[in-house]
C-alpha cells in the first residue's frame, strides 16, 4: 500500500492517455509536411519511426511491436502495412480457361457480385451523365491520362502475381488528389480522426494485453470499426464507390453508434433525423454538398455530412470531419470546471501534446469553431437559437464533469484508505512494461515512477485510462466500483453528450443524465460498504482491515 500514498493516486490515473491521445497536432503537421497517421500517436520523429517496419503479419509495430502479431484479417483492415497475396494454385483450372489479365472475365465467375457492383459505378461508366463526364474530363486533364473505364487492374494490379489492395496515397490520389489531400488534413486536428483510426485501435494497452493473453479475436469489433481509412471504402462502399451513398447518414451508422458514441441513434431519433427519415427520399442527394440548397425541398434538415463535413478553415464542404470538433469524443476534462478529485492534477506531468493541457472550450481556436457551427446552423435557424443550443451543450458537459469528479473522489478514497487491495490482483494492462516502453520524458516523473516501482499494480480510474474497465478483467482488476465508474463516464456521460449535441432529448435524459447519476449512487453505496467491511475486519483483526 505504501507506494500508493507515496505517489498520489491522481498521478497515475490517466497515464496511458499517452497512448490514446498522443496527438501530434498542427505543430508536427508543419514540421513534417508528409501526412502519416503515425504522427498522431507519437510526438517525436524517432518514436514515429518505430512504425516503419509495420509490414506483413509476422510482427506488430510501435511501442508494442514485441507483444503482438497481427491476425490474418488485418491485411484487409490495413492493407498498406499487412497485405499478403492469396495463393490461387487451387484454382488452376480457372487459370487455364482465362488469360491472367482477364480480370473481368474470370471474376464474373469467381466473384460475380463484385463485378456487378463495379458495372453500376462511375468507374465503369465515367460518362454516364453530363456532370460525371465533365468531372472525368477534368480528371483526365489533371492526371494527363485518357480514361475509358477504371477497371479492376487500376486498383489491384495487372495480374495476380502483382496483386495489391489499393491505398489512397498510391492509387486514388492519381485521379482524386483533392479528396485525398483534404482527408489527410485531419491530421492537423490530432485524434480522434479517421486518419488515426487504425493506429488508435492497435496502440491502446488493453488491446495489446488481449493479444498477449491469446484473446486477439475478441477485438474483431474494434478492428472493423477502426480500419485504416487509407482504403477509402468507409462511406462509399466498394465496388460501387457512390457519392450519393456517401451523402446519406446511413453511411456513417455502422461505426458511429452504440454505447460510447451513439451518433446514429441520437441523430435518427432527433427531429432533424426524423425529417430525413420522412422525406429524405425526395431530397437532392445526387447533388454535391456545396451545391445543394439547404432548408428547401433539396435538403430541409441536415445529415451527419451537412454538419460535420462543413470545414472550419475553408467554409466549404469537403473530406475532413475534424476541423470543427470542440469537445471531440467528450473524454477530456475541460478547464472550465473546478475539480476536487485528482482530475485537478490532469495531465499529471505527461508532456505529450495535446495531453499536456485540459480542453479550453473558449480559447481562440475553439471560439472560431463555435462561430463556424453557428454559421452552419444559421442556414435554417436563428443565430441566437443556435448559440443558445451550444451554451446548453457546454453547460450540460460541465455539470456532467462535476458529477464524474464526485464519483472519482469516492473511488480514489477507497484506494487511498487501502479498502481495495491492489497487490492481490493482476497489474494494469501492459502495466509491467509501460514505464520502460514510454519512458520518463513522455510520462512525466510521477506517472513513470508509479509504474516503474509497482510493475503496474496501481489503481487507474477515470477518464481515459480507466476505460480499461470496459475492456479487460483479469485477476480481480478492475473491482466492481471501478467498473461502475467506468460505465458512468464512458457509457452514460458520453451518451448524454451526444444526446444534447444532436438534439435527442431521450438520450440527453434517460440514457444520459439519469443513468449517470444512478451510477453515482451505486458508487457511493460500494464506497460505504467497502469502508464498513474494512472497519469490521479491523475490529476482528482479519483481512485487509487487520493488515493481512
Binders of ligand HEC among 132-161, rule CB under 6 A?
132, 135-136, 139, 147, 150, 152-160
Among 249, 486, 512, 545, binds ligand HEC (CB under 6 A): 249
Q: Which stretch binds ligand HEC (CB under 6 A): 66-74, 315-323, 438-446, 485-493?
A: 315-323
Question: What's the CA dihedral at 430, 436, 441, 442 to 10 degrees?
Answer: -20
Among 31, 45, 100, 363, binds ligand HEC (CB under 6 A): 100
294 is a contact residue toward ligand HEC (CB under 6 A): yes
261 is a contact residue toward ligand HEC (CB under 6 A): yes
Classify burial at 288, counting beta carbons within 10 Å of its beta carbon; exposed 0-12, middle 13-18, buried 19 or more.
Answer: exposed
Neighbours of 310 (CB within 10 A): 24
Q: What is the total count of residues that contact ligand HEC (CB under 6 A)? A: 133
380 is a contact residue toward ligand HEC (CB under 6 A): yes
Q: How many residues does the chain have?
A: 548
Footprint on residues 60-89 left by ligand HEC (CB under 6 A): 76, 79, 86, 88
Q: Which stretch binds ligand HEC (CB under 6 A): 1-9, 26-34, 60-68, 96-104?
A: 96-104
Q: Give every CB contact of residue 520 below 8 A, 6+ residues apart in sequence.
A: 403, 406, 407, 488
327 is a contact residue toward ligand HEC (CB under 6 A): yes
Footprint on residues 210-239 left by ligand HEC (CB under 6 A): 219, 221-222, 225-227, 229, 231-236, 238-239
Least distance to ligand HEC, CB of residue 540, Å: 42
Please identify, using beta-carbon distances, which residue of 298 and 537 lies nearer to ligand HEC: 298
Which candidate, 414, 543, 401, places its Cα nearest to that of 480? Answer: 414
465 is a contact residue toward ligand HEC (CB under 6 A): no
Least distance to ligand HEC, CB of residue 15, Å: 14
Least distance to ligand HEC, CB of residue 363, Å: 13
Which candidate, 322, 118, 72, places its Cα nearest to that of 237? Answer: 118
1 is a contact residue toward ligand HEC (CB under 6 A): no
Least distance to ligand HEC, CB of residue 83, Å: 7
397 is a contact residue toward ligand HEC (CB under 6 A): no
Phi, psi for residue 165 in degrees, rounded to 5: -100, 135
335 is a contact residue toward ligand HEC (CB under 6 A): no
Distance CA 199, CA 108 (A): 36
- Long-range contact set of residues 271-278: C-beta below 8 Å, sequence gap at least 24: 271/301, 271/503, 272/301, 272/302, 272/502, 272/503, 273/249, 273/301, 273/502, 273/504, 275/300, 275/301, 276/249, 276/301, 276/303
Q: Give every CB contact of residue 87 below 8 A, 6+ residues apart in sequence.
A: none
Least distance to ligand HEC, CB of residue 134, Å: 8
Confirm if 485 and 519 have CB atoms less than 8 A apart.
yes
* Omega prior to 536 cis, within 30 of 0: no
Distance CA 11, CA 347 (A): 8
Least distance to ligand HEC, CB of residue 498, Å: 7
Q: Which stretch binds ligand HEC (CB under 6 A): 44-52, 60-68, 99-107, 402-410?
A: 99-107
Among 304, 410, 469, 530, binds ligand HEC (CB under 6 A): 304
Q: Which stretch binds ligand HEC (CB under 6 A): 316-324, 409-417, 451-459, 525-533?
A: 316-324
Classify burial at 372, counting beta carbons within 10 Å of its beta carbon; exposed 0-12, middle 13-18, buried 19 or more.
Answer: middle
Report CA Rg, the chain. 26
Please identify, using beta-carbon distances, which residue of 8 and 381 lies nearer to ligand HEC: 381
Q: Give the three cell numbers for residue 495.
A: 451518451
- Long-range contact set of residues 130-136: C-beta below 8 Å, sequence gap at least 24: none
In Å, what is the CA distance from 112 to each residue of 101, 104, 122?
17, 9, 18
Q: How many whole angstroms from its chain centre is CA 292?
A: 29
Among 243, 336, 351, 453, binds ligand HEC (CB under 6 A): 243
Footprint on residues 181-200 left by ligand HEC (CB under 6 A): 183, 191-194, 196-197, 200
256 is a contact residue toward ligand HEC (CB under 6 A): yes
Footprint on residues 429-458 left by ligand HEC (CB under 6 A): none
Distance CA 17, CA 466 (A): 10
Least distance to ligand HEC, CB of residue 306, Å: 6
Please identify, using beta-carbon distances, which residue of 471 and 534 lies nearer to ligand HEC: 471
493 is a contact residue toward ligand HEC (CB under 6 A): no
Confirm if 8 and 341 have CB atoms less than 8 A apart.
no
The position carrying cell 432527433 is: 270
263 is a contact residue toward ligand HEC (CB under 6 A): yes
Please identify, using beta-carbon distances, which residue of 2 and 58 lies nearer to ligand HEC: 58
Footprint on residues 270-289 left by ligand HEC (CB under 6 A): 271-272, 275, 288-289
Which candidate, 212, 199, 214, 265, places its Cα nearest to that of 434? Answer: 212
Site string for ligand HEC, 6-35 (x = CB under 6 A): --------------xx--------------
Among 252, 465, 493, 544, binds ligand HEC (CB under 6 A): 252
102 is a contact residue toward ligand HEC (CB under 6 A): yes
Distance CA 87, CA 303 (A): 43
Among 114, 337, 409, 440, binds ligand HEC (CB under 6 A): 114
Amino acid at each position: 500500500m505504501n507506494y500508493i500514498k507515496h505517489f498520489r493516486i491522481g498521478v497515475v490515473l490517466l497515464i496511458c492517455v499517452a497512448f490514446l491521445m498522443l496527438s501530434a497536432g498542427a505543430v508536427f503537421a508543419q514540421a513534417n509536411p508528409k501526412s502519416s497517421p503515425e504522427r498522431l500517436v507519437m510526438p517525436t520523429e524517432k518514436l514515429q519511426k518505430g512504425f516503419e517496419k509495420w509490414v506483413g503479419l509476422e510482427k506488430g509495430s510501435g511501442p508494442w511491436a514485441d507483444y503482438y502479431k497481427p491476425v490474418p484479417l488485418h491485411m484487409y483492415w490495413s492493407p498498406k502495412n499487412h497485405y499478403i497475396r492469396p495463393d490461387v494454385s487451387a484454382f488452376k483450372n480457372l487459370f487455364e480457361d482465362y488469360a491472367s489479365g482477364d480480370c473481368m472475365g474470370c471474376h464474373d465467375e469467381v466473384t460475380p457480385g463484385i463485378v456487378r457492383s463495379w458495372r453500376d459505378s462511375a468507374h465503369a461508366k465515367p460518362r454516364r451523365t453530363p456532370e460525371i463526364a465533365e468531372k472525368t474530363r477534368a480528371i483526365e486533364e489533371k492526371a494527363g491520362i485518357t480514361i475509358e473505364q477504371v477497371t479492376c487492374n487500376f486498383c489491384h494490379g495487372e495480374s495476380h502475381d502483382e496483386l495489391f489492395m489499393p491505398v489512397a496515397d498510391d492509387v486514388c490520389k492519381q485521379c482524386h488528389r483533392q479528396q485525398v489531400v483534404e482527408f489527410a488534413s485531419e491530421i492537423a486536428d490530432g485524434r480522434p480522426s479517421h486518419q488515426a483510426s487504425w493506429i488508435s485501435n492497435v496502440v491502446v494497452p488493453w488491446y495489446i494485453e488481449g493479444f498477449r493473453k491469446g484473446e486477439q479475436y475478441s477485438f474483431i469489433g474494434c478492428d472493423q470499426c477502426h480500419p485504416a481509412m487509407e482504403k477509402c471504402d468507409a462511406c462509399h462502399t466498394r465496388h460501387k464507390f457512390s457519392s450519393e451513398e456517401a451523402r446519406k447518414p446511413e453511411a456513417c451508422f455502422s461505426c458511429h453508434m452504440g454505447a460510447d458514441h451513439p451518433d446514429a441513434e441520437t441523430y435518427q431519433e432527433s427531429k432533424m433525423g426524423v425529417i430525413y427519415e420522412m422525406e429524405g427520399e425526395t431530397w437532392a442527394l445526387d447533388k454535391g454538398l456545396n451545391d445543394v440548397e439547404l432548408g428547401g425541398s433539396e435538403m430541409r434538415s441536415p445529415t451527419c455530412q451537412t454538419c460535420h463535413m462543413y470545414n472550419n478553415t475553408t467554409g466549404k464542404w469537403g473530406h475532413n470531419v475534424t476541423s470543427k470538433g470542440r469537445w471531440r469524443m467528450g473524454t477530456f476534462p475541460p478547464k472550465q470546471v473546478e475539480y476536487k478529485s485528482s482530475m485537478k492534477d490532469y495531465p499529471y506531468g505527461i508532456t505529450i501534446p495535446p495531453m499536456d493541457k485540459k480542453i479550453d472550450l473558449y480559447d481562440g481556436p475553439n471560439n472560431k469553431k463555435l462561430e463556424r457551427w453557428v454559421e452552419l446552423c444559421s442556414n435554417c435557424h436563428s443565430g441566437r437559437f443556435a448559440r443558445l443550443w451550444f451554451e446548453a451543450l457546454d453547460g450540460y458537459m460541465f455539470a456532467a464533469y462535476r458529477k464524474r469528479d464526485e464519483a472519482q473522489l469516492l473511488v480514489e478514497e477507497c484506494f487511498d484508505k487501502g479498502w481495495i487491495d491492489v497487490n492481490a490482483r493482476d497489474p494494469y494492462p501492459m502495466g509491467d512494461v509501460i514505464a520502460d516502453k514510454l519512458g520518463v520524458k513522455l510520462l512525466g516523473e510521477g506517472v513513470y515512477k508509479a509504474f516503474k516501482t509497482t510493475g503496474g499494480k496501481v489503481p487507474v480510474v477515470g477518464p481515459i485510462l480507466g476505460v480499461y474497465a470496459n475492456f479487460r478483467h483479469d485477476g480481480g482488476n478492475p473491482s466492481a466500483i471501478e467498473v461502475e465508474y467506468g460505465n458512468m463516464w464512458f457509457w452514460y456521460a458520453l451518451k448524454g453528450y451526444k444526446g444534447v449535441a444532436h438534439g435527442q432529448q431521450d438520450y440527453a435524459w434517460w440514457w444520459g443524465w439519469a443513468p449517470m447519476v444512478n451510477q453515482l449512487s451505486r458508487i457511493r453505496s460500494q464506497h460505504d460498504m467497502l469502508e464498513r467491511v474494512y472497519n469490521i475486519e479491523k475490529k476482528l483483526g482479519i483481512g485487509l482491515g487487520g493488515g493481512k
